Amino acid sequence: MKRKALVFGCTGQDGTYLSKSLLDKGFEVIGTSRKNKPNLKRLKTLGIDDQVQLICCDLEQFTQTKNAIEKFQPREIYNLSAQSSVGNSFKKPRETYKSIINTTINILEACREFKFKGNIFFAGSGEIFGSTNTAADLNSKIDLRSPYANAKYQSFLLTKMYREIYNLKCETGILFNHESPLRDENFVLKKIINRAIKIKKGISKELILGNITIKRDWGYAEEYVEAMQLISRARIKKDYLICSGKSYRLQDIIEIVFNKLGLNWKDYVTISKDLFRKSEIEESKGNPQAINNDLNWKATTDIQTLIDILIEYELQNDK
């Protein structure tokens, strides 16, 4: 019989890559969406929309969550479902909290009641460290600068508590920014590349951005879902940072993208104070040493290669 994995939030960027990776490893994948008619765009892009068993499950409803776990009795559970935009979390704090904290407690409680013996992985966020002067690790100070970071930290604490008190095999992978062709259009790298291509084609004249002096630790989503599985299957249960250990200034990335398209970014980019966050994180960088040492995982796609992958995809798909 095939091993089963239950992927909550399987229609998103990471859910889609994770489902593909699990299918490739011979798992039967049950994926959830909150919607009766889920957005299959990403699953179709990877050609797995007919291989994932899609079910409708509102994780904010305890009974639905418990029923899904009881019915399928998976070996592994991954929770990737969330309102995942930091920017949106300032506009929708209540939705962000509910989509992160209520779902975490529902999964943990369902697993506790059901005496679930499998592995349970939660997607955390490097946003919990705020601005990092040196690369963050699990001992770094917590500095919550958005409703999103706040909710992810509560989810992290809940998961740790259920591991320590109830002996559930659950852990958080504290993810730093990771991108891919499947990333939602609202996220900044995708926005920059889409618009730069439109400018190159003469369809658009301007790219309006917020603070471009910020630095982020950017990686490739396809690799990060491998780290999630290693953490989930590790014999010793603990939390890990999933990051590249390098940070890049957004302005430098803009320059690389425009240069690759033969354009000078200064001719097209306008800065709008309206797009600055209420509480900005100047630099976010993680230290990947623990996951590298313990689980032999390392981010290998550098920023130049990542940008090439994203530009190539957009050029082929921007009709």
Active-site residue numbers?
A: 125, 127, 148
d(CA 209, CA 197): 16
Rounded distance, CA 167 to CA 303, Å?
A: 39
Q: How far is the CB of 200 from ligand NAP (least distance, A)?
A: 26
Q: 């992290």: which residue's tokens?
A: 156
CB of 219 to ligand NAP, least distance (A): 8
DSSP letters spanning 171-239: EEEEEPPEE-TTS-TTSHHHHHHHHHHHHHTTS---EEES--S-EE--EEHHHHHHHHHHHHH-SS---
Binding test (CB under 6 A) with ligand NAP, winner from 19, 21, 65, 83: 83
Does the footprint of ligand NAP cover residue 99 (CB under 6 A)?
yes
Q: How far is CA 181 from the centre of its chain?
A: 13
Find the shortest distance in angstroms from Cβ 83 to ligand NAP.
4
* 244 touches ligand NAP (CB under 6 A): no
Structure tokens at 245: 């250990």
Return the residue of 184, 252, 282, 318 that touches ligand NAP, per CB under 6 A: 184
Minimum Å distance from CB 184 to ligand NAP?
A: 6
Position 130 contacts ligand NAP (CB under 6 A) = no
Per-residue x/- track, 27-46, ligand NAP (CB under 6 A): ------xxx--x--------
Residue 283: C-alpha distances to residues 24, 203, 206 (Å): 36, 33, 26
Cβ closest to ligand NAP, residue 190 vs residue 268: 190
Q: How many residues bind ligand NAP (CB under 6 A)?
A: 23
The answer to whether 79 touches 104, Cβ cutoff 8 Å, is: yes
**Which of helix, strand or coil describes residue 7?**
strand
Taking CB under 6 A as the rule, does residue 9 contact ligand NAP? yes
Tell me: does residue 223 bind ligand NAP (CB under 6 A): no
Q: Does 247 bind ligand NAP (CB under 6 A)?
A: no
**Minimum separation from the CB atom of position 64 to ligand NAP (A):** 12
Q: Which residues contact 270 (CB under 8 A, 6 or more apart)?
A: 206, 207, 208, 209
For position 226 contacting ligand NAP by CB under 6 A, the verdict is no
* Number of helices followed by number of strands (H, E) in the chain: 12, 14
263 in Cβ contact with 200 (< 8 Å): yes
Part of the chain binding ligand NAP (CB under 6 A), chosen from 12-20, 139-147, 263-271, 304-312: 12-20
- Site residues for ligand NAP, 139-168, by CB under 6 A, read none
- Shortest distance in whole angstroms from residue 208 CB to ligand NAP: 22
Q: Between the CA of residue 251 and those of 26, 176, 185, 266, what are the distances in Å?
A: 42, 19, 19, 10
Instruction: Please say which residue, 101 or 199, places its beta carbon nearer to ligand NAP.
Output: 101
CB nearer to ligand NAP: pick between 123 and 170: 123
Binding site for ligand NAP (CB under 6 A): 9, 11-15, 33-35, 38, 80-84, 95, 99, 123, 125, 175, 177-178, 184
